[in-house]
């Protein structure tokens, strides 16, 4: 019975979180550079959230104490919820505006200096209205939303199993 549940360990869930988070950013960069889908400030904010979730998951994997893993998985869950909020805001509010310059996302990313540190990842190249594109008939923001929900569920499972 224990062998059949070996996949249901906190380390497995945290590894999935890291892989899915970094993979999501990789797919966003592929979309940007290969398929000419430039990001808006809210898109790049979601990239940052995914990268932080992935880093938190890797840190949790490096730690052996169950309490520390549980706490970091909970942080990942909270970050996932912030990503859900960002994706919803992008789709329902920002995409309907003519410009998303100087919004919370733009000011935060600029304030953190990420436009200078990694411009190829974080510099927005489109307005929110222009970046509101579909992928396979589904708004791109909803793909991000779905990944945040999946990553959040995996973080919640890691919290539960720790």
* pLDDT tens digits, 130-145: 877 888 889 989 999 9
pLDDT at position 30 is 95
Return the SS3 of 9.
coil
Flag whether pLDDT at 1 surpasses 60: no
Flag whether pLDDT at 148 surpasses 60: yes
Q: Let me know: does 77 contact 152? Beta carbons within 8 Å.
A: yes
pLDDT > 70 fraction of the chain, expressed in percent and rounded = 94
CA distances from 15 to 2, 62, 83, 110 (A): 20, 11, 19, 30
Q: Comparing 12-16, 50-54, 126-130, 140-144, which segment has the lowest mean pLDDT? A: 126-130
**How many Å apart are CA 54 and CA 110, to the nearest integer?**
21
pTM over 0.85: yes
Tell me 94's DSSP state: G
Domains of the chain (ranges; CATH) run 7-161 (1.20.1550)
Sign of torsion, CA 61 65 67 68?
Answer: negative
Matching residue, tokens 């436009």: 115
Q: Let me know: does 122 contact 109? Beta carbons within 8 Å.
A: yes
Q: Let me know: does 114 contact 48? Beta carbons within 8 Å.
A: yes
């Amino acid at each position: 019975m224990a062998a059949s549940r070996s996949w249901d360990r906190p380390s497995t869930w945290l590894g999935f979180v890291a892989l899915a988070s970094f993979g999501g950013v990789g797919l966003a960069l592929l979309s940007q550079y290969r398929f000419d889908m430039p990001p808006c400030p809210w898109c790049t904010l979601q990239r940052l959230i995914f990268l932080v979730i992935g880093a938190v998951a890797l840190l949790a994997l490096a730690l052996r104490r169950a309490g520390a893993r549980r706490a970091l998985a909970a942080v990942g869950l909270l970050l996932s919820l912030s990503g859900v909020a960002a994706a919803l805001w992008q789709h329902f509010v920002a995409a309907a505006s003519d410009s998303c310059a100087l919004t919370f996302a733009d000011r935060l990313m600029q304030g953190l200096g990420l436009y200078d540190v990694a411009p190829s990842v974080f510099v927005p190249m489109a307005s929110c209205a222009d970046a509101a594109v579909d992928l396979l008939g589904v708004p791109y923001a909803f793909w991000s939303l779905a990944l945040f929900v999946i990553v959040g569920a995996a973080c919640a499972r890691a919290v539960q199993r720790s």
